[in-house]
């Protein structure tokens, strides 16, 4: 019989009529045959661990009993019970009933997959109906068995969110293995940053070459505007492995090991969205849908697919007026678990005087709470050794009278395991693993050799935001920062719950295996409701907020000190207040990066232990940059950030990076920031706009004189130029 074919303007999908395996996938516009070997087609994969006791009447925790855990179900080995192709060939529904596992035989589990086409996308939506006595832990869907790189590509790699930037791993001609070889049969990649794995932190991934790629991303469930916070991880696997492991190259031949063309020795790269739903016996669950879409262009074109969907449901909060203006911060640390006790609360107004003198708008105060930074969490009581509650409140008021805002460092993710508070009370709210034990994070080391050698480090335990009782406790701790009169908080490490992804403690009021990221935004929405009657312009900031968190947070702080930094958060949210650390004593390149990527400067001399006068060169150049940004705010502050889309920059030797394009919202004209990160040599560049517009003049950050751009743009070492369209 013929294959089942679904096709839109962008993708052509072919499914085997007997198994439902996806045996062909083609990018219609470019002809890229993404899947090109039908014998390698896949449909789905499940993990259904077996228990020693299979009595379905026992408690749900029976899946913890000993048995064969690694009991997979391979979709390509199943026979379809039915398939229904909608009129017009825009969707197909595949049904498998009573699937057969590798070691548990026939299981009373039904799988239904609907693949529906829009104009550009194919959306996979799977439902698992579990009538077996076992738990369905993992589901691979969609599952691509043989991802081919575009024929003319020089490289092929992944691209996904990581800490306000992007992580890229090579798929071809090398394949980066991200798991210990001892733990996997094949070189393997899983989308992880710390504990953050896939959605919601990284809700999409690109498989891309220089000029085209395949987008895979979560979408909303039918009938819902916002997407689910269920865990969906991104997985790639090179089968059967390397020919020569020393350089991790993908074998060039189609089969290896000198054998016939058996599937076990056929060279292929698999890709999957991996759901981890822990579907209980007797439960039916619809999984988070996943969309596939081919695109042309660089990574920006792939990210634009995500942005277009996200903007249909995500509405950022109203940002306090002062934070919407060009400005700078100082971060200063006054105590840690090793007891620096650097400054009393009574002394803090001196920092405010520094900021007022240098035109710095806000202070992020770190280590003010009981025990100092990363100790005593989640307590937000002032450290009595630094002064009283009233002394801190008075210091904040005095600084505010100077026109400087005070933002208090805060932390709610963790509990300090060494405290009696944790041992006697908080432990009940800790995120628990499948064995009933709490997870713990290694923590951070400060100052002394004892701690830098990790001997007396404070270990941190991630707490469950799915527990309403713990959220109520956080509300009470937050009220302390509000009572101090602060202008806001910066929630450090709001972006993850490392090393936890799911919580299995049902006493928290959730199901087994519930996603611990689900209430990240609810926590801040709770705080905002508390703050509104008292201080309606209270600022909520976080560290490297992942994209969805900026539905609740006003501002995100990260560190981007790399010449290879990819401004992914800025591209996804062109107008959000994003801030980065500037620590160097003549940190021109980082300040240039702030101009180029519309980052707020966070001044942090001596790794945020010093004062602004400690690095006069950095301060002077920073003030010049911010003055330029104010002067040209229509372009470089209020303009839409487009990264490298809309212009090319070249030297006589070829393309030049980095640079960024902004679009003035008042007249549609473009401004370009071009940086020269080289610390010794100047560079001469030519900027060309894709729209044919003429670039008339340019100037440097530290030279207000405008020069004609027609003869080329000369940029000294460690400098940046701004160029405006005529």
C-beta pairs of 664-667 under 8 Å, 24+ apart in sequence: 664/634, 664/635, 664/638, 664/639, 665/634, 665/638, 665/639, 665/640, 666/634
Residue 258: per-residue pLDDT: 64
pLDDT band for position 62 (cuts 50, 70, 90): very low
Q: How far apart are CA 409 and CA 407, in angstroms?
A: 7
Angle between helices 588-596 and 616-631 (to 10 degrees): 20
Please state, rounded to an integer, the average pLDDT across all residues of the chain: 94
Residue 271: enclosing H or E segment and its boundaries? strand 268-275
| Helices and strands (H, E) in the chain, number of each type | 12, 45
Count of CB atoms situated within 10 Å of the CB of 505: 20
User: Has domain 4-310 been given CATH number 3.40.630?
Assistant: no
- Yes or no: say if 578 and 527 are a contact pair by the CB < 8 Å rule: no
CATH topology of domain 636-725: Immunoglobulin-like (2.60.40)
DSSP string, 14-78: EE-TTT--EEEEEETTT--EEE--GGG-B--EEE----S---TTS-GGGGGSSS----EEEGGGS
Query: From the CB of residue 616, how many other CB atoms can be counted at a distance below 10 Å?
Result: 12
What would the two tokens of residue 303 be?
A: 């990210």
pLDDT over 70 at 192, yes or no: no
Residue 114: is the preceding peptide bond cis (ω within 30°)?
no
Region 321-412+468-496+517-558: CATH code: 3.20.20.80
Q: Is the pLDDT of residue 196 over 60?
A: no
Is pLDDT at 386 greater than 60 in this prediction? yes
> pLDDT at residue 411 above 90?
yes
CA–CA separation, 431 and 437 (whole Å) = 8
Residue with tokens 């007022």: 356
Q: Token pair 């944790």 is at which residue?
A: 422
State the pLDDT at residue 181.
84
Instruction: Write down the residue that tokens 């590509």 correspond to.
Output: 153
* Sequence-ordered list of residues with C-beta below 8 angstroms from that of 46, at least 6 positions apart, any chain: 72, 73, 75, 99, 101, 109, 111, 128, 136, 138, 139, 140
**Least confident segment among 121-130, 242-251, 566-575:** 242-251
Q: What is residue 61's predicted lDDT score, i.e. its pLDDT?
A: 47
Alpha helices in 362-467 (DSSP H): 389-401, 420-424, 449-452
- Residue 523 contacts residue 482 (beta carbons within 8 Å): no
pLDDT band at 531 (very low <50, low <70, confident <90, very high): very high
251 secondary structure, DSSP code: P
Q: Answer whether residue 505 shows pLDDT above 90.
A: yes
What residues are paired with 508 via a beta bridge? none
Cβ burial 636-673 (10 Å sphere, 16+ → b, else e): bbbbebbbbbbbbbeeeeeebebbbbbbbeeeebbbbb
Nearest to 572 by CA among 206, 327, 32, 222: 206
Task: Please give the pLDDT value at position 63.
Answer: 44
Buried b (16+ CB within 10 A) or exposed e, 76-111: bebebeebebeeeebbbbbbbeebebeebeebebbb
Residue extent(s) of CATH 2.70.98 domains in the chain: 4-310
133-150, pLDDT tens digit by residue?
999 999 999 999 999 999
Query: CA-to-CA distance for 335 and 608, rounded, in angstroms?
Result: 11
Higher pLDDT, 318 or 178: 318
CA distances from 535 to 169, 492, 531, 558, 676 (A): 45, 21, 5, 26, 43
In contact, 497 and 201? CB cutoff 8 Å: no
Half-sphere exposure of 316 (CA within 13 A, CB side): 21
Location of each CATH 3.20.20.80 domain in the chain = 321-412+468-496+517-558
Separation between Cα atoms, residue 334 and residue 98, nearest integer Å: 62
Q: Are 94 and 43 in contact (CB under 8 A)?
A: yes
Average pLDDT of span 318-331: 97
- pLDDT band for position 260 (cuts 50, 70, 90): low
Please write the tens of the pLDDT for every residue from 147-173.
Answer: 999 999 999 999 999 999 999 999 999
Contacts of 163 (CB under 8 A, 6+ apart): 193, 495, 544, 558
Residue with tokens 């010449």: 563
Contact between 349 and 313 under an 8 Å Cβ cutoff? The reply is no
Q: In which band, very low, low, confident or very high, does the pLDDT at 262 lie, cut at 50, 70 and 90?
A: low
The reported pLDDT for the residue numbered 355 is 98
Could you tell me the maximum CA-CA distance found in the chain, to the nearest angstrom?
Answer: 83
Count the residues in the chain.
726
Coil, strand, or helix at residue 419? coil
Report yes or no: 578 and 553 within 8 Å, Cβ to Cβ: no
d(CA 720, CA 629): 12
Calculate ∠ Cα 25-26-30, nearest 5°: 160
H/E stretch holding 623: helix 616-631
Q: What is the pLDDT of residue 225?
A: 80
């Amino acid at each position: 019989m013929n294959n089942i074919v679904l096709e839109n303007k962008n993708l052509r999908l072919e499914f085997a009529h007997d198994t439902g395996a996806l045996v062909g996938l083609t990018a219609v516009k470019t002809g890229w045959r993404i899947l090109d070997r039908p014998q390698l087609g896949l449909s789905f994969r499940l993990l259904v661990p077996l228990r020693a006791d299979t009595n379905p009447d026992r408690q749900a925790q029976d899946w913890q009993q000993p048995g064969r855990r690694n009991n997979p179900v391979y979709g390509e080995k199943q026979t379809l019970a039915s398939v229904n192709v909608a009129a017009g060939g825009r969707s197909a529904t595949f049904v498998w009933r009573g699937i057969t596992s590798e070691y548990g035989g026939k299981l009373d589990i039904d799988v239904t997959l609907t693949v529906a086409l829009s104009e550009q996308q194919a959306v996979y939506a799977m439902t698992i109906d579990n009538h077996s006595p076992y738990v369905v832990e993992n589901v691979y869907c969609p599952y691509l068995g043989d991802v081919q790189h575009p024929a003319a590509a020089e490289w092929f790699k992944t691209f996904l969110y990581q800490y306000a930037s992007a992580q890229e791993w090579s798929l071809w001609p090398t394949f980066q293995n991200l798991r210990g070889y001892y733990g996997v049969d094949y070189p393997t990649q899983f989308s992880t940053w710390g504990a953050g794995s896939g959605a919601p932190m990284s809700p999409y991934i690109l498989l891309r070459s220089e000029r085209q790629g395949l987008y895979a991303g979560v979408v909303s469930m039918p009938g819902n505007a916002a997407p689910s916070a269920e865990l969906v991880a991104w997985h790639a696997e090179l089968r059967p492995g390397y020919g020569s492991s020393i350089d991790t190259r993908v074998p060039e031949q189609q089969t290896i090991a000198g054998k016939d063309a058996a599937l076990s020795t056929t060279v292929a790269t698999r890709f999957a969205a991996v759901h981890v739903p822990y579907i209980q016996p007797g439960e039916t669950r619809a999984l988070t849908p996943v969309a596939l879409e081919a695109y042309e262009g660089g990574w920006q074109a792939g990210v634009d697919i995500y942005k277009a969907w996200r903007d249909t449901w995500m509405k950022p909060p109203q940002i306090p007026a002062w934070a919407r203006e060009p400005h700078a911060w100082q971060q200063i640390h006054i105590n840690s678990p090793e007891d620096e006790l650097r400054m009393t609360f009574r002394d803090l107004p001196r920092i405010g005087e520094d900021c007022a003198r240098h035109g710095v708008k806000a202070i992020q105060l770190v280590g003010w709470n009981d025990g100092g930074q990363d100790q005593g969490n989640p307590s937000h009581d002032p450290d009595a050794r630094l002064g009283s509650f009233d002394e801190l409140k008075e210091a904040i008021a005095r600084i505010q009278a100077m026109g400087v805002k005070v933002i208090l460092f805060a932390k709610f993710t963790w509990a300090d395991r060494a405290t009696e508070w944790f041992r006697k009370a908080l432990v009940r709210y800790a995120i628990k693993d499948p064995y009933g034990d709490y997870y713990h994070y290694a923590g951070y080391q400060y100052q002394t050799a004892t701690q830098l050698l990790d001997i007396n480090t404070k270990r941190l335990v991630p707490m469950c935001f799915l527990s309403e009782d713990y959220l109520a406790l956080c509300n009470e701790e937050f009220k302390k920062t509000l009572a101090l009169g602060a202008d806001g908080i910066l929630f450090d490490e709001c972006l993850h719950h490392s090393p936890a992804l799911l919580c299995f403690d049902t006493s928290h009021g959730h199901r087994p295996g519930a996603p611990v990221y689900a209430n990240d935004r609810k926590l801040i929405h709770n705080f905002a409701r508390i703050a509104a009657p008292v201080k309606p312009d209270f600022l909520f900031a976080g560290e490297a907020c992942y994209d969805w968190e900026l539905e609740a947070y006003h501002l995100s702080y990260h560190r981007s000190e790399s010449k290879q930094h990819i401004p992914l958060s800025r591209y996804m949210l062109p107008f959000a207040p994003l801030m980065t650390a500037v620590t160097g004593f003549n940190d021109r390149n980082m300040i240039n990066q702030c101009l180029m990527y519309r980052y707020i400067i966070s001044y942090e001399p001596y790794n945020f232990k010093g004062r602004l006068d400690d690095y006069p060169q950095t301060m002077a150049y920073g003030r010049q940059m911010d003055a330029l940004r104010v002067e040209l705010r229509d372009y470089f502050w209020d303009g839409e950030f487009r990264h490298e889309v809309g212009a090319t920059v070249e030297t006589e030797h070829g393309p030049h990076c980095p640079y960024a394009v902004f679009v003035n919202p008042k007249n549609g004209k473009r401004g370009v920031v071009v940086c020269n990160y080289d610390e010794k040599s100047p560079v001469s560049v030519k900027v060309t706009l894709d729209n044919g517009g003429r670039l008339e003049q340019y100037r440097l950050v530290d030279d207000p004189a405008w020069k004609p751009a027609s003869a080329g743009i000369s940029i000294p070492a460690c400098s940046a130029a701004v160029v405006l369209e005529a």
